[in-house]
Structures are given as structure tokens and as C-alpha cells.
Amino acid sequence: MSAKLQTPIDYLKGVGPNRADLLRSELGIETYQDLLNLFPNRYIDRTRYYKINELQRNNAEVQVIGTITGFREVAQKRGKRLVADFKDETGMMELVWFRGQKWIRESLKIGKSYVIFGRTNWFSGKYSMPHPEIELQSENENNLRTAMQAIYPSTEKLSNKGVTNKVVSKIMQQLFLDTKGKFTETLPEKTLSDLKLVSKSEALLNIHFPKSPELLARAQFRLKFEELFYIQLQLILKNLIHKSKIKGLKFDKVGNYFNTFFNEHLPFELTNAQKRVLKEIRFDLGSNAQMNRLLQGDVGSGKTIVAFMSILMGLDNGFQCCLMAPTEILSVQHYTGLKELCKPLNINISLLTGSTKTSKRKEIHENLENGTLQILVGTHALLEPKVKFQNLGLAIIDEQHRFGVAQRKKLWDKGPSVSPNKISFENSNSTSSSSSNSKTIPPHILVMTATPIPRTLAMSVYGDLDISVIDELPAGRKAIKTVHRFDNNRLKVFRFMKDEIKKGRQIYVVYPLIQESEHMDYKDLMDGYESIVREFPQPDYQISIVHGKMKPDDKDYEMQRFVKGETQIMVATTVIEVGVNVPNASVMIIESAERFGLSQLHQLRGRVGRGAEQSYCILMTSRKLGENSKTRIETMARSSDGFEIAEVDLKLRGPGDIMGTQQSGVLNLRIADVVKDKDILHEARYQAKKILSADPSLSMAEHLPVLSTYREMSKYKNIWNYIS
């Protein structure tokens, strides 16, 4: 049957060359298979027949069985309208036509039993239905679409050229006649019986011509499950292939660095989530495969200490490690934090960024190559060809979505070169080093993100990575109190700021714009800065200002003043979204908060609450708020859980917007929705894992439908080229 489904759509009875061209250009339908996968986007419930005395004045779409008792023409300003009296045993209503009257008058018979369907109007004390769909009751009972009528995606051009919903429904019926409604099963018998799924043929019949809402629901579940199952199968297979093909450096011991730090220098007790994640990383590093793991953790959850302890495992096994961050501010923050942790262990660590002086660069390059430099922290500067490690074993990438695939590959290529007789290596994508007799072993990769990714999205977009989640905050952290205030409450907010400063605390005030915009009614940074300077005059108060247009040295100077406590208020744009760690800062005020996305608001809020004191986040907005803005502000005030916030963000913005265009291809689904169908997604991933763990090559007889479907999909629709 699969071969027949690849027949060009031109050959289906009722289509013809003109309609085929339209279907191709407007809906991308090339073959029978494409038409079969044109799933309806809604349904009109034709399961219920109303009596005329049950009709309500609600302009609803209804269907009624009755007979026409007579016709009359009624004059109006332009031309005439044709009116038919239509009755059932409970009452009378009118059917009205403003065009096509001659054909209507000739084709409809008085006294015959008809099923009418359309939108009702209440006019002059009676119900009427303009231009109803109308067919003989006998035909209606024999029709495939007896119960619920499918409404298909369409375009203006299709409607104008006469390819209406009725036409699409007719050619869909023809497709089912041509194929006898028999379609190859794509899922294993055991999965069908375990989940009580309807067969492929039954699902396709009931998605296009459902006999009842119950059968439609079962068909939708089956087809959504199948779509998500094959995406998960592909991603898990990619992961398995990665582990079997890409050999890694084996870190087989936990030694002096790790144990000394853990027993003597750990600054606080690890949370259970941190311990769990460290075990997962330790297991990966000890296997023969290259680690490819995503570490998710909310702001302040303690990812850095996990990253450092992973680095210590690398050092214990004689390897160098690096940490790459997307901005200079963030890389400096990582370097400063890690340097403190390295001190008691006498570990050699350096920082390399675009502004590192030439003499220091030279020293770093030499020490990297001779192996005396153990950890290198930096920005994109780490990717330069001159940066050569003696034996890079672990690369950590922070906020990895800001780096492209090509950039990440450059980091892979910096792994140690080993001659073939020293290591079993099987990877067609590996990069040879300068010596033709050696291979580059890619370092283990740990990518970190402080932007919580909803689990549903992580499973779809990063499903080929192993995912670790730190989902609990360190003990003793007080929840940040978040409140929403309108602009006219500003004086009260100023009083609150003064009270906090008296207690010795510091305050961030963040603005969305740098310069005044003619088109946007939002306070800009300089305006805000001036009003704060007036309200908080020197010498009683000191204020820093930081924005993206300042020179790096000026920016650093202002930030350092705030870090040292020389200024009490930092007025800034979102440059402080990442990269500033001031435990004494206890208040975050976000101006024009309606202009920020949810994840950005959450990141900004994470700049406070880093000390032992109670911290606050104040969201300032105008009174004019759209529905989405209201939802964002209410969510922030209600929840401090980054994953819950990310789920709301996903619902508001959709998966494509959150992941960016580069990864939106994975989410162009035909019938499933990763937000609404997350329970089905979880089940699909579980079933795909279960099958692949029992039969990684899909060679068992019961899995042959899966293997052949997988190959077929890869052949006809190249939907598998996603890369995390």
C-alpha cells in the first residue's frame, strides 16, 4: 500500500491537472500520502439533529430534518430572494437564498425529507437559515460523513478557484475508495494492545470521516502518538548511535582533587538534585562513549559547583578542561568564581577573552600546549586556531543556544590526538589531526543553561542529548517576593527603596530602552536615571549606570563600584540579565515590565535573592496591558519556579519562537502539539525507549513495521535532520 500512496495526486479521480496544481502550490500536496495527511483543523458536529422548537437565538450551526412545504420570491432593494418554508413536527422556519435561485428551485422538491445544515438567524419572530447545506435524508444516511464534518485547512486562492471544503471532502472520499481504506500498520502489535490504540486504517478513516466524537478522539490520540513516537525514536536512535560510534576519553578514577575538595573545601552541602546530577555525569565520564549532556538548572540552583566538580574529575584523570561562555561579563564571572574554588587546591586556571592582552595570550597558549594550564575559561576566543590544548578532556559550554553548530564543532576538534593503535575509534565524522596517522578524540561535552526549557520542548528539541535537571534550590534560600505596581505608585516604590538602602541593601533598576523611541510610550533609561538622581541626591546616595553602548572599561568600572558596595543603586538595561553576582543586592525593579518576555523577567529576577536577606522584585507597568502581558505579569507574581514559568511562556509564544528559527523544524507537526499533547509525548518517548532498549537495531519480527516505516519516512520526507 505504501507504494500506491506515493502516486501523484493528479491521478486521483476528481482531481485533474488544474486542481492538482492548486493543491500542490497552496497546500504542498504532491501525492496520495500528502492528501491522506491533510488532517482537518476542526469539525462541525453533525451527530445531533435539532427540532425547530429546540433552536436557540445564539446564531449557532445546527442541522434539522424536515420537509419543504412551499417556495416564494420576495422583492428586495436589489433583485429578489428565494424563501422556502421548512417544517418538522414541532414548528416552521424559513430557508433563504440570495443567489443560485433557479438551480435551487429546480433541484429541491416539495414534500421530500431533507437534512439541512447551517447557521440560524432570528428575524421578525421566526428562525431562518441563509444558504443552508441541504441533502436528501436518504443520501445523508449513506454518506461517509454522516456524523461529524471535517473542515480542512484552506486558502483564499483555493476558495476562489472552487476547491471548497466540500470538494476536498469528496476527493478524500475518492482516496478511501481507491485504497479500499486499507493502510499499512506502522506500530507494533504489543504497543497497540498495551495502549488500546485503534489500527492505522481505523484511525485514518475516523480522522477524516468520524462517526462519533468518541471515535474521533481515539483516532486523534492514535495519530498524535504515532507522530511523536517516530520523532522520539529518531532522537533516541541518534543518541544510541552517538554513544556506540563516538568513542570518548575514559575518566576511570575519582582522585585527589575531587576528594580533597569534597571533604575539605565544599562551601555548602550539596542538594539532592546536585548529587543526582553529579552521579549522572560521573557515570557518563566513566563509560567509553563521549558524554553529550545538557545540564538545566534554574537561576541560583548551583550549576557552577556541579560544573567545577565535573572539571575536577577531568583533572584527576590527567586531562585539561575548559568553560566557554557567550559574553565577556559572564566569562569573567565564571572565572572569578572558579579561581576562588581553585586556590586551596593549587589548580592553574586562566581567562581568555577578546580583551586579553597579547603578552598574556602568548603565555596562555604556551601553558596550554605544555599542559601546565589546567583550566581555561573564556568566550569565543577559545575557538581561535592558535588555542591548542595538550589534552582537552572536558568542555563545558554555558548558555549553549548562543553558539552555532560550527562553533561547537571547533571545540570538538581541540580534543587530544591519539594514534589508531592506542584507542578503538569508530566515527565517520571525526576530524583527523595534523598527523595523518592520528585521530582527534572529541572532549566530553557538558552544556549548561539557566533558561529552564519546558520538559516537553526539551524532549523534542534536545531529545538526542542526555538531560540532567537541578530542580531544587540550595537550603536556606528565601523565595523572592514579587509584586506588580503601576506607574502611579512610583512614590511608594521610592519610599520602599530608601527603606531598603537604610538597611544597607543595594537595588537594581532595569529599563528596556537605551534611547527614547518616537513610536513607543515607554520610559527610556536616561529619563529614568535623571528622575532617580533627583529623588536620590548625592552625597546621601551613589548611583551607577550601565548600558550596552558604554565602552567595556567604563561598564566594568561602574559594575565594580556596585559590586564593592560603593553605589547603592544600579540603573541598567538588560546587560545585567546575566553576569552580575551581588549577594547584597536585595531589590530588582523592572520598568515597563510588560515589554519583557517571561524568561527574561525570570532571569532578571534571579540577579537578587543571592544572599541570606529577604529579596524583592517589583514589576512596574502602565495601566494599559494586553491579555498576554497580564498573563506574564500574573505568572511572575505567582510563581518562582522557572520550569512552570517556561511552560507558560511556551503556551504564550509557541515552540518556534522560544527555540528560534534554527530549531523550529522539529516542531512543524502535522497533528500533534508539544504543549497540549505533552502527556502523549511522554508516553511516546517511553514506548520508543522501551522498544529500542529491547531491540536497538529494530531487527525483531514484531518491530519490522517500525523499521520499515522509519526507512520510508526517511526516504520520502527528510524530516530527521535536527541537530542539537
CATH number at residue 317: 3.40.50.300
Regarding whether 267 and 401 lie in a shared domain, the answer is yes
What pLDDT, in 10s, does the model give residues 528-575? 888 999 999 988 999 998 887 788 788 888 888 998 899 999 998 876
Q: What DSSP line would sit under 312-365, residue for residue?
A: HHHHHTT-EEEEE-SSHHHHHHHHHHHHHHHGGGT--EEEE-TT--HHHHHHHH
Predicted confidence band at 235 (pLDDT cuts at 50, 70, 90)? confident
Number of Cβ within a 10 Å radius of residue 332? 20
The answer as to whether 235 is a domain residue is no
Q: What DSSP line would sit under 196-252, residue for residue?
A: TPPPHHHHHHHHHS-SSHHHHHHHHHHHHHHHHHHHHHHHHHHHHHHHHHSB-----
pLDDT for residue 576: 65
Given a cut of 60, whether residue 24 has pLDDT beyond it is yes
**The three grid cell numbers given for residue 322, joined into one nine-digit string:** 575548559
Neighbouring C-alpha atoms within 13 Å toward the C-beta of 107: 9
Regarding whether 497 and 462 lie in a shared domain, the answer is no
Listed range (386-395, 397-406, 637-646) with the worst mean pLDDT: 397-406
The answer as to whether 550 is a domain residue is yes
Given a cut of 70, whether residue 496 has pLDDT beyond it is yes
Listed range (37-41, 71-75, 97-101, 175-179) with the worst mean pLDDT: 97-101
pLDDT for residue 29: 92
pLDDT for residue 349: 96
Regarding whether 499 and 459 lie in a shared domain, the answer is no
Regarding whether 569 and 461 lie in a shared domain, the answer is no
pLDDT for residue 430: 39
Q: Which residues contact 74 (CB under 8 A, 6 or more apart)?
A: 80, 81, 82, 83
The answer as to whether 84 is a domain residue is yes
Task: Write down the pTM of the prediction.
Answer: 0.65
What is the helix (H) or strand (E) element at residue 633, kind and residue range? helix 627-638
The answer as to whether 83 is a domain residue is yes
Regarding whether 491 and 454 lie in a shared domain, the answer is no
Regarding whether 395 and 280 lie in a shared domain, the answer is yes
pLDDT for residue 429: 38
Regarding whether 380 and 329 lie in a shared domain, the answer is yes
Regarding whether 485 and 453 lie in a shared domain, the answer is no
pLDDT for residue 431: 39
What pLDDT, in 10s, does the model give residues 651-677? 777 655 444 433 434 456 788 877 678
Predicted confidence band at 720 (pLDDT cuts at 50, 70, 90)? very low
Cell 568553560 sits on residue: 323
Cell 424536515 sits on residue: 66
Regarding whether 445 and 415 lie in a shared domain, the answer is yes
pLDDT for residue 655: 57
The domain that contains 86 carries what CATH number? 2.40.50.140
Compute the mean pLDDT over every residue in the chain, rounded to the nearest whole number: 84
Q: Which residues is 357 bridged to in the sheet?
A: none
How far is residue 664's CA from residue 644's CA, in Å, rounded to a whole number?
21
Given a cut of 80, whether residue 477 has pLDDT beyond it is no
pLDDT for residue 435: 37
How far is residue 86's CA from residue 314's CA, in Å, rounded to a whole number?
84
pLDDT for residue 577: 54
Q: Per-residue pLDDT averaged across 38-53, rounded? A: 87
Listed range (104-108, 473-477, 531-535) with the worst mean pLDDT: 473-477
Given a cut of 50, whether residue 419 has pLDDT beyond it is no
What pLDDT, in 10s, does the model give residues 312-338? 999 999 999 999 998 887 888 899 889
Query: Can you give the residue range of the structural domain that contains 319?
Result: 256-470
Regarding whether 458 and 587 lie in a shared domain, the answer is no
Listed range (73-77, 485-489, 543-547, 670-674) with the worst mean pLDDT: 670-674
pLDDT for residue 528: 86
Domain count, the chain: 3
Given 470, 496, 511, which residue is the final one in a domain? 470
How far is residue 715's CA from residue 699's CA, in Å, rounded to a whole number?
19
Predicted confidence band at 140 (pLDDT cuts at 50, 70, 90)? confident
pLDDT for residue 667: 53
Strand 292-297 to 444-449 pairing: parallel
Regarding whether 501 and 443 lie in a shared domain, the answer is no
pLDDT for residue 245: 74
Percentage, residues of the chain above pLDDT 90? 44
Given 425, 449, 470, which residue is the final one in a domain? 470
Given 613, 639, 665, which residue is the final one in a domain? 639
Q: Per-residue pLDDT averaged across 71-95, rounded? A: 91
Q: Per-residue pLDDT averaged across 349-367, rounded? A: 93
Which amino acid is residue 676, in one-letter code? K
The residue ranking higher by pLDDT, 522 or 605, is 605
The answer as to whether 339 is a domain residue is yes
The answer as to whether 66 is a domain residue is yes
Given a cut of 60, whether residue 523 has pLDDT beyond it is no
pLDDT for residue 665: 41
What pLDDT, in 10s, does the model give residues 434-465? 334 456 788 999 988 877 776 667 766 666 67
Cell 507522530 sits on residue: 227
286-322: b (≥16 Cβ within 10 Å) or e: beebbbbbbbbbbbbbbbbbbbbbbbbbbbbbebbbb
Regarding whether 364 and 306 lie in a shared domain, the answer is yes
The answer as to whether 496 is a domain residue is yes
Question: Could you tell me if 625 and 633 are in contact, meaning their C-beta atoms sit under 8 angstroms apart?
Answer: yes
The answer as to whether 93 is a domain residue is yes
Percentage, residues of the chain above pLDDT 70? 87
The residue ranking higher by pLDDT, 718 or 690, is 690
What pLDDT, in 10s, does the model give residues 182-202? 999 999 999 999 999 999 999
pLDDT for residue 406: 67
Given a cut of 90, whether residue 229 has pLDDT beyond it is yes
Q: Is the peptide bond before 452 cis (omega within 30 degrees of 0)?
A: no
Predicted confidence band at 426 (pLDDT cuts at 50, 70, 90)? very low
Q: Per-residue pLDDT averaged across 125-139, rounded? A: 88
